[in-house]
């Protein structure tokens, strides 16, 4: 049951479009920065297959320039 | 340790989101996610948002707390606060979550036959007052003590001082700010005759260079560091990290320079040597505004009980100072500081360039130092020699660790030697306190008694027979707890602990008083940039929790001092603040009226003619300057600052054949001090559940230590077992071990040394000698 977080970078001026596109996907939860062109995206899927399908779906979103996965804090103390 | 995780997946999602937000904050300084705090909250449109300062560090970020149906349900950064402009760090966002901890102290507990018995608060306060009175009657007024905090509110500190010094007539009051800021205070007083930074956070917007001295701001002052990073990317401002350990701050800086512990004294002198040798002295500034002095040397380290030291300053001239610095050429210093000649010259050239604005920042690295006062003096020397002081973007800036170390500990004066204005040794200051407090002048003793370390030594010796701690956890935070914990357990001392949660300190208490948390009471804090911030009570506390100020007042009344504490329960914060303000009337330290503080997101003192004074001692900004010159260091009688001749002296305990490693202790971004609050916030606790010992990889390899393997760190005082951390968050220099102190289950302060700066009496947590072995 993977849960992953990403920084989603929109193309110039496409932040709102990206918010709309990601909001429409069940497995996605987003938090948009109020003052910068970036969104935090958290995905929750049932298994690796579903995750791979979701990844493909995300890659087709036109307003998405870059999806950078976040590995969390750089220490093993973190979960 | 209780954690209320009811839905693990929800929690993991929250963690994932938090990680991404943290990453975003690194890449986009100043980024705001405040809306996140309102997400998922039912009827968020009905939230009542109230302003206040953050509960945690000395940066003093403005927060907005959203309440609904009497509960705090969200926190976001206050966009109107000039400190953080809406941004908060990971601790700030989650601060109110600790209130709901299941092990919250909600009622007074009194120890009877070895068991804690739930007791009505009024009965518990009777017991405290009776015991305090009885102890004074039997053993004298200096047998009772209070130990408070840089996290106490201004009214809490004020009534503690009034009770001990004005009512009882003892100077047995000290606070945990002694452990973090005393060297900064002594540095300011010796160099300028007036405490607290001359500049403000707005300096960040103007400086070309930020030089951080032993200061991991990315973790300890993250919001300010974020503001610096913003200037780095916007204007090309440069950050130079000068430290003994590679940290997140080092990696985000333009340059990281590492030095051997304790040799910062020598490097600072070498910078001054270079400034003079290269003709970079601002001669007219120095001639007009500076004197030169030297003090006693070889002062010792305070390792013996009842150690006493008084400095004897004497005036020197520029030539004598210049001659003294010949021992500190970059070439000589490089041999023992392990800093290259090139890097020393690089630092000096930054300070020496008249066209570059430079702010120096420091906190515990310079203050928790057996020569902490000297180290503060030396950085002031650099800024005074170059005239880079008291101007936007130019100045030395001592950061505080606690939210009201400045506002309460330093300004109200909850140290043994202090009064709300001035010091107990000064007759004029005692007379002013006696007048405002309406007590006989003779009652305030003219001599300081116990500073923090000596106070707990006196408990151990049996000289102090009653101690009341408020808002602090000394049995985790003191150095050498291996001595002071058994000392506090002795029957010879009656221990009262006022706190929000159980701690190792409350474990040894005879009476535990349930304190209100931050937003469950009204209060005022004062941050690092002299900004006083007020907040109103936002939610009711559980059970019989009571504000510390009110518990002190109730005890005072029960002891027969009711006439000195005529405050009402509903308005005591306002009444106390209005009384306290009288101490600071005038252009040099005027405090803003409460009605202004209620409206604004904090106001910087001196508050004169309805305006904050952002840069003191500069006639352009500071109405208290009266000498007709551009600058006026009016803290000193002749209006001049002092450039001090202070040598390098070694640490009291250095690595040797038996104990071959330096031990350095400190903090992590997730936890506030001893962790009593942040370890009860699930997100933070899970992010950093336990302490660890950082090693240099070459040391780890030589010792055959693997990452995560338990190792035992031992000093001449005690030992502590923790997992090894190699090439993870921080990287100590070779021959050094770093351990954070937040974890009460891994008591690294059993290992540390209780040596202190003889002038400031602040202990050194950054240097002692240890050995390391597999556990």
Q: Cβ of B20 and A7 within 8 Å?
A: yes
Query: Is A30 part of the contact surface with chain B (CB cutoff 8 Å)?
Result: no
pLDDT band at residue B735 under the 50/70/90 scheme: very high
Interface test with A, best of B5, B12, B19, B679 (most A CBs within 10 A): B19
CA distance B50 to B652: 49
Contacts of B9 in chain A (CB under 8 A): 1, 3, 44
Q: pLDDT tens digits for B287-311?
A: 999 999 999 999 999 999 999 999 9
B chain contacts of residue A41, beta-carbon cutoff 8 Å:
20
CB contact under 8 A, B19 and A41: no
Q: Is-catalytic flag, B677?
A: no
Q: What is the pLDDT of residue B230?
A: 87
Statement: residue B259 has pLDDT above 90: yes
pLDDT surpassing 60 at residue B326: yes
**What would the mean pLDDT of B174-191 be, rounded to a whole number?**
98
Residue A29 pairs with which residues in a beta bridge? A42
Q: How confident is residue B421, by pLDDT bands cut at 50, 70 and 90? A: very high
**In this predicted model, what pLDDT tens digit does every residue of B442-459 receive, in sequence order?**
999 999 999 999 999 999
Contact assessment for residue B737 and residue B661, using Cβ atoms and an 8 Å cutoff: yes
Active-site choice (B89, B164, B175, B181): B181
Sort out which chain A residues have CB atoms less than 8 A from B12's CB and list them: 3, 79
Among B62-71, B117-126, B298-307, B346-355, the range scoring the smallest mean pLDDT is: B62-71
Distance (Å) from the C-alpha of residue A64 to the closest C-alpha of chain B? 17
8 Å CB contact between B498 and B516: no
B contacts of A75 (beta carbons < 8 Å): 688, 725, 728-729
Tell whether ipTM is more than 0.85: yes
Residue B237, CB-side half-sphere exposure with 13 Å CA sphere: 25
Could A73 and B19 be called an inter-chain contact, meaning their C-beta atoms sit closer than 8 Å?
yes
- Integer-rounded Cα Rg, in Å, for chain B is 25
B556 has pLDDT over 60 = yes
**C-beta atoms of B708 and A42 within 8 A:** no
Nearest Cα of chain A lies from the Cα of B596 at a distance, in angstroms, of 29
Q: Do B729 and A34 touch (CB under 8 A)?
A: no
pLDDT digits (tens, 9 = 90+) for B522-532: 999 999 999 99
Q: Which residues pair with B305 in a beta bridge?
A: none
Whether A40 and B21 lie within 8 Å, measured CB to CB:
yes
pLDDT averaged over chain B?
A: 95
B460-506 residue pLDDT tens: 999 999 999 999 999 999 999 999 999 999 999 999 999 999 999 99
Strands B209-213 and B358-362: parallel
Would you call B401 a catalytic residue per the annotation? yes
To the query of whether residue B180 is one of the catalytic residues in this protein, the response is yes
Higher pLDDT: B248 or B1? It is B248
Nearest-angstrom CA–CA distance, B22 and B32? 11
User: How many percent of chain B have pLDDT more than 70?
Assistant: 96
Whether residues A35 and B692 touch (CB distance < 8 A) is answered with no
Q: Closest chain B residue to A33 measured between Cα atoms?
A: B33
Which one of B60, B352, B395, B401 is the catalytic residue? B401
First to last CA, chain B: 24
What is the distance between the alpha carbons of residues B724 and B63, in angstroms, rounded to a whole number? 36
- What's the confidence (pLDDT) of residue A71? 43
Three-state SS at B165: helix
**Positions in chain A whose pLDDT score sits under 50:** 71-79
Contact assignment for A7 to B24 by CB distance below 8 Å = yes
- Residue B41's φ and ψ, nearest 5 degrees, are -90, 125
pLDDT of residue B9: 66
**By the 8 A CB rule, do B420 and B433 touch?**
yes
Classified as helix, coil or strand, B268 is helix
Residues of chain B contacting A71 with CB distance shorter than 8 Å = 19
Question: pLDDT tens digits for B688-724?
Answer: 999 999 999 999 999 999 999 999 999 999 999 999 9
What tens digit of pLDDT does each residue of B570-609 get?
A: 999 999 999 999 999 999 999 999 999 999 999 999 999 9
d(CA B33, nearest CA chain A) in Å: 5
């Amino acid at each position: 049951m993977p849960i992953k977080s990403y920084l989603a970078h929109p193309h110039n001026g496409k932040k709102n479009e990206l918010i709309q596109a990601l909001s429409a996907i069940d497995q996605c939860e987003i938090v948009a920065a109020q003052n910068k062109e970036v969104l935090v995206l958290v995905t929750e899927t049932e298994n690796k297959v579903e995750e791979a399908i979701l990844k493909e779906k995300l890659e087709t979103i036109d307003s998405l320039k870059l999806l950078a996965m976040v590995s969390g804090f750089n220490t093993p103390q973190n979960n | 340790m209780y954690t209320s995780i009811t839905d693990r997946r929800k929690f993991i999602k929250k963690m994932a989101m938090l990680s991404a937000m943290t990453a975003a904050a690194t890449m986009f300084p100043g980024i705001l996610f405040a809306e996140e705090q309102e997400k998922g909250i039912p009827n968020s449109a009905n939230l009542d948002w109230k302003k206040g300062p953050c509960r945690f560090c000395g940066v003093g970020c403005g927060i907005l707390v959203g309440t609904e149906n009497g509960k705090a349900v969200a926190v976001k950064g206050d966009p109107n606060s000039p400190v953080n402009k809406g941004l908060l760090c990971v601790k700030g966002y989650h601060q109110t979550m600790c209130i709901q901890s299941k092990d919250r102290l909600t009622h007074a507990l009194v120890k009877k036959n070895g068991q804690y018995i739930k007791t009505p608060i009024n009965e518990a306060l009777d017991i405290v007052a009776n015991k305090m009175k009885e102890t004074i009657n039997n053993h004298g007024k200096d047998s009772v003590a209070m130990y408070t905090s840089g996290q106490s509110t201004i009214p809490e500190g004020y009534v503690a001082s009034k009770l001990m010094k004005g009512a009882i007539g003892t100077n047995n009051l000290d606070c945990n700010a002694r452990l973090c800021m005393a060297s900064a205070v002594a540095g300011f007083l010796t160099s300028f005759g007036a405490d607290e930074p001359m500049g403000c956070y707005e300096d960040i917007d103007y400086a070309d260079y930020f030089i951080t001295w032993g200061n991991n701001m990315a973790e300890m002052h993250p919001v300010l560091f974020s503001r610096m990073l913003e200037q780095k990317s916007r204007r090309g401002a440069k950050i130079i990290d000068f430290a003994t350990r590679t940290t997140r701050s080092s990696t985000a800086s333009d340059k990281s320079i590492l030095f051997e512990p304790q040799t910062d004294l020598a490097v600072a002198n070498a910078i001054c040597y270079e400034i003079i040798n290269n003709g970079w002295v601002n001669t007219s500034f120095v001639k007009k505004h500076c004197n030169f002095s030297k003090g006693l040397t070889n002062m010792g380290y305070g390792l013996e009980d009842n150690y006493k030291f008084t400095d004897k300053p004497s005036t020197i001239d520029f030539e004598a100072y210049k001659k003294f610095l010949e021992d500190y050429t970059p070439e000589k210093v490089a041999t023992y500081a392990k800093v290259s000649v090139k890097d020393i010259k690089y630092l000096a050239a930054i300070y020496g360039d008249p066209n570059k604005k430079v702010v120096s920042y420091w906190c515990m690295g310079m203050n928790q130092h057996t020569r902490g006062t000297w180290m503060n003096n030396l950085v002031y020397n650099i800024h005074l020699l170059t005239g880079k002081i008291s101007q936007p973007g130019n100045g030395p800036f001592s950061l505080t660790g606690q939210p009201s170390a400045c506002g309460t500990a330093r300004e109200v004066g909850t140290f043994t030697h202090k009064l709300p204005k001035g010091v107990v040794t000064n007759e004029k200051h005692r007379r002013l306190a006696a007048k405002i407090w309406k007590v006989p002048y003779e009652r305030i003793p003219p001599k300081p008694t116990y500073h923090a370390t000596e106070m707990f030594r006196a408990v151990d010796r049996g000289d102090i027979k009653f101690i009341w701690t408020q808002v602090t956890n000394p049995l985790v935070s003191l150095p050498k707890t291996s001595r002071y914990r058994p000392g506090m357990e002795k029957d010879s001392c009656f221990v009262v602990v006022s706190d929000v949660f159980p701690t190792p300190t409350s474990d040894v208490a005879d009476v535990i008083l349930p304190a209100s948390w931050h937003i469950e009471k009204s209060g005022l804090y004062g941050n690092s940039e002299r900004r006083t911030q007020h907040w109103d009570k936002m939610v009711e506390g559980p059970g019989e929790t009571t504000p510390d100020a009110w518990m002190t007042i109730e005890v005072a009344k029960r002891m027969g001092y009711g006439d000195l504490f005529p405050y009402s329960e509903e308005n005591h914060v306002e009444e106390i603040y209005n009384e306290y303000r009288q101490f600071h009337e005038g252009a040099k330290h005027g405090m803003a009226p409460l009605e202004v503080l209620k409206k604004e997101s904090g106001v910087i003192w001196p508050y004169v003619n309805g305006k904050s004074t952002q840069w003191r001692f500069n006639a352009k900004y500071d109405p208290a300057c009266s000498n007709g010159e551009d600058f006026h260091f009016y803290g000193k009688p002749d209006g001049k600052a002092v450039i001090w001749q202070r040598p390098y002296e070694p640490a009291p305990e250095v690595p040797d054949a038996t104990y071959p490693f330096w031990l350095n202790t400190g903090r992590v971004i997730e936890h506030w001090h001893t962790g009593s609050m942040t370890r009860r916030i699930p997100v933070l606790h899970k992010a950093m559940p336990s302490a660890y010992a950082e090693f240099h990889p070459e040391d780890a390899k030589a010792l055959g230590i693997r990452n995560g393997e338990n190792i035992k760190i031992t000093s001449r005082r005690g030992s502590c077992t923790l997992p090894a951390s190699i090439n993870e968050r921080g990287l100590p220099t070779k021959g050094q071990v770093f351990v954070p102190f937040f974890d009460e289950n891994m008591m690294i302060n059993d290992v540390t040394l209780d040596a202190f700066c003889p002038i400031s009496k602040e202990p050194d947590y950054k240097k002692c000698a240890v050995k390391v072995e597999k556990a």
